[in-house]
Amino acid sequence: PIGGPAARILAELALANSDQYLFSSGVHFLRYADDYHVFCGSKKEAHEIIVKIYKALDNEGLSLQKSKTRILTASEFKHVLSQIRGGDDRETRSPIQRLMSLTLRFDPYAPNAAEQYDELKDELEEIDVVALLNEQLSQTRVHIPTTRKIVEALKLVGTNAKYGAMLSMLDNMDALYPIAPTVFQTVYQVFDELGEREKAGICDRIIELYDSGHEVMALDMHVAYANRIVGKYSSIATRNYLHRCFEKQTSELIRRDIIMIFSNWGNFSWLSMFKANFGAVSGWQRRALILASYSMVDEGSHWRDHMKSRFDAFEMIVRDWRSEKPNVPLAI
């Protein structure tokens, strides 16, 4: 689910039976949303409990995510905890401790929103966030909560540092796989601040990830995130990439997004060819094509007149809504 509150509510519903089974099995754990934390007396006990958790989740049709399942020694856990918590004395806290203590979200509608934003930027200017990212990437395995906070903070660093940081993340998606959505969302949010050459460089990296068959692009969700970044930069390379992606992917979400991106780009030749498939596609793709047809001007108008008898009630609403704002770029 999208968003913390939705994830927590769903976790409480989906994991209630698993929790009861684990408690009755003598497993004492702490859980936040879908993250289980268990303190064990030995490594052997830790492995035994992992098996119990695996069985409990498997019975519910769920599974453990291997990349996030870790066994830490007591000393390793204490070290991680000290890095995150730090002390109360600002001068004695490390940069990562100071970063972890910051709240990166602020209310843009608050009366003092501008002051909050400036204070946050001032705090981050005193922390070398890019150096913290490189430090995490140099490790065998990144610490997920810490790295996620670092990646989110990159949205607020100076423009000159952003491009290098974005490339560094995209070049290290093996290590950052567990937080791939956060990485792609951060790149998406800073993309418009970059120059033309930098935008092309980011898109080239994303296309390389896809064409090379990188594991991060095996999930439809990740491809959709990546395509929304690419959709911000029209070029021959990005058009050809999205054409290939559309032919290869079967996800309704991915294909819908590409149709609307091509509409925004004015890729009339592709849309003109695809409209012949209206009867063979379903749901989101049909509605996306109706929206996109307004970018085809006369050809789109003739097509809608010809096809309107095949529009269902919802598609008629979509058509009428778009007719009131035919020139507004489609939000992806």
- Residue ranges in the chain modelled with pLDDT below 70: 1-4, 83-93, 105-109
Question: What pLDDT, on a 0 to 100 scale, did the predictor assign at position 223?
Answer: 98
| Cα gap 147→69, rounded to integer Å | 16
pLDDT at position 86 is 57
Q: Per residue in 5-19, is it b (16+ CB within 10 Å) or e — as a string?
A: eeeeeebeeebeebb
Give dist(CA 313, CA 96) in Å, integer. Answer: 54
Structure tokens at 16: 């209630």
Is the C-alpha dihedral spanning 260, 263, 267, 268 positive or negative?
positive
In whole angstroms, what is the distance from residue 239 CA to residue 71 CA?
45
For residues 97 and 87, what is the distance between their CA atoms, to the nearest angstrom?
8
> Alpha-carbon distance 251 to 95, whole Å?
42
Q: Which two tokens stand for residue 2?
A: 């999208």
Give the C-alpha separation, 37 to 46, whole Å: 11
For the chain, what's the residue count? 332
What's the whole-model pTM score? 0.73
The Cα–Cα gap between 256 and 294 comes to 15
What's the Cα-to-Cα distance from 25 to each of 39, 63, 137, 209, rounded to whole Å?
Answer: 15, 19, 38, 44
Handedness of CA 306, 310, 315, 316 (dihedral sign): positive
φ/ψ region of 142 (left if φ > 0, alpha if ψ in -120 to 50, else beta) reads beta
Per-residue confidence (pLDDT) for residue 3, from 0 to 100? 57
DSSP state of 331: P
Cα→Cα distances 235→47, 190, 205, 207, 226, Å: 51, 19, 14, 12, 16
For residue 30, report the phi and psi dihedrals to the nearest 5 degrees. Answer: -115, 140
